[in-house]
Amino acid sequence: MIILKSDRELQYMYEAGQIVAKTHQEIAKAVKPGVTTLELDRIAEDFIIKCQAKPTFKNYYGFTGSICTSINEQVVHGIPSLRQLKVGDIISIDIGATLNGYVGDAAVTLPVGEIDEEAQRLIAVTKNSLAEGIKKAVVNNRLSDISHAIQTYVESHGYSVVRDFVGHGVGKDMHEAPEIPNYGPPGRGPRLRKGMVLAIEPMVNVGTHEVETLLDNWTVVTKDKKLSAHFEHSVAITDDGPWILTE
């Protein structure tokens, strides 16, 4: 069941989303060669707690980090560790914060120092595909209009969208109905209604869309070990158009 949020609930979700946005700003300042993903995790956790919120991901089904840190061919759900970032890496940072019982959820992919043109292009296309999806997050559109916009944009640039992981509704729980694939024909699925909040999150690969999960049971990587990028916003459906809660 898709849970519609009241105006008051949307305000709570905006406040949680702003903590996520500010945490992303703190992390972006810290992403540089030599830093470990565990250090980034500590910075995020400390900042979220300082904001009187809780790191949503911490202990979620046993996940040990407060954020997900996915490097290069890692798609999503990378576990913070002692791995140091290197010049030329790209890193996807996924952050969730819970405030007043409501969740904000957003992800970005960042360069580590100078990166090559392919990596720059992948990041740009993935970020832009999210914007294309968000444009379709309007009352009376169908859910799959978002999916189709993302897929069309990504594939027109020669990349592939991950099929095995999808976006989702968000609210009091991090993962609520509906699931939001980043692919598919337009005009399908439920009509978008005021009060829906969607975590829209394209995961885009340079090569094949196929992925696999490592032995840690969390980290998802591209099957061909080529680069992947990930962007996400929590977006409320309103009568005035999409309201991005996490920027």
Task: List average pLDDT for each run of 10 residues in the chain, which is 247 residues long.
Answer: 98 99 99 99 99 98 98 99 99 99 99 98 99 99 99 99 99 98 98 99 99 98 99 99 99
Q: Are the CB atoms for 234 and 134 separated by under 8 Å?
A: no
pLDDT at res. 218: 98
Which overall architecture, per CATH, does domain 7-244 show?
A: Alpha-Beta Complex (3.90)
pLDDT at res. 231: 99
Number of H helices, E strands in the chain: 4, 15
Is pTM beyond 0.75? Reply is yes
| 181: nearest Cα among 218, 154, 212, 208 | 154
pLDDT at res. 209: 99
Bond prior to 181 in cis (omega within 30° of 0): no
Q: Cα(185)–Cα(62) distance, rounded to whole angstroms?
A: 35
* Residue that the structure tokens 């890193």 belong to: 91
pLDDT at res. 205: 99
pLDDT at res. 83: 98
The domain segmentation of the chain, as residue ranges, is: 7-244
Extract the runs of DSSP E, i.e. beta strands, from the chain: 54-55, 67-71, 74-76, 90-99, 102-111, 160-161, 167-169, 176-180, 197-200, 203-205, 211-213, 220-222, 228-230, 233-238, 241-244
Q: Cα(109)–Cα(194) distance, rounded to whole angstroms?
A: 29
| 201: nearest Cα among 133, 123, 124, 120 | 133
